[in-house]
Amino acid sequence: MRRLLLPAMYVESIYHIDLAKLRARGIDTIISDLDNTLVPWRKNKINPALKPWLKSVKAQGFKVCLVSNALEKRIAYFRAELNIPGISFANKPSRRAFLQALTLLGSKPETTAMIGDQIFTDVLGGNRLGLFTILVVPLCDRDFFFTRMARLFERWVLRRLVKEE
């Protein structure tokens, strides 16, 4: 169980991910969560640094896709704004949407990184498929009610997992 819940990397934000190190690991694809990973939950305002970051990611040859539990309307908006494909209603940690993203991008699990802010959806879902998982600090404290409850348990699990190392 520990292997499934522990991210391969833990960083403050997407802007702290060393893309050269990912490339050196053989990673050529990035699947990312949306809410509280790329943009604050329930907000449509895009951080001015996000588009240049995505442009840099693409310029370095990475394929990128959103995989989110959010509604289609929200994902459609960000697909258009960010000019990247995206899958809504992902039902993470289910493997279905991750597999769908891999097929869409023509990628393999062993060359794909999953970036997200939640252990029980993003990290667990990515680890179940053998993706390189990256946990980021949530962008804001606001969350869906059930996510707030899950975060309490996530903090407890993270403390325990880190202690074991």
Q: Each residue of 33-63: pLDDT tens digit?
A: 999 999 987 777 888 999 999 999 999 999 9
Per-chain mean pLDDT for the chain: 88
Give dist(CA 56, CA 145) in Å, integer.
34
* Cβ-contact 51, 86 below 8 angstroms: no
Q: Each residue of 58-105: pLDDT tens digit?
A: 999 999 999 999 999 999 999 999 999 999 999 999 999 999 999 999
Q: Which domain holds residue 159?
A: 2-164
Token pair in block for residue 81: 């704004």
Per-residue pLDDT at 165 exceeds 90: no
Look at 65-69, 121-125, 141-145 and tell me which has the smallest mean pLDDT.
141-145
* Cβ-contact 105, 94 below 8 angstroms: no
The 3-class SS string of the chain reads: CHHHHCCCEEECCHHHCCHHHHHHCCCCEEEECCECCCECCCCCCCCCCHHHHHHHHHHCCCEEEEECCCCHHHHHHHHHHHCCCEECCCCCCCHHHHHHHHHHHCCCHHHEEEEECCHHHHHHHHHHHCCEEEEECCCCCCCCHHHHHHHHHHHHHHHHHHHHC
Per the structure, the count of domains in the chain is 1
Specify the higher pLDDT residue, 133 or 6: 133
Of the chain, the percentage scoring pLDDT greater than 70 comes to: 83
CATH number of the domain encompassing residue 75: 3.40.50.1000
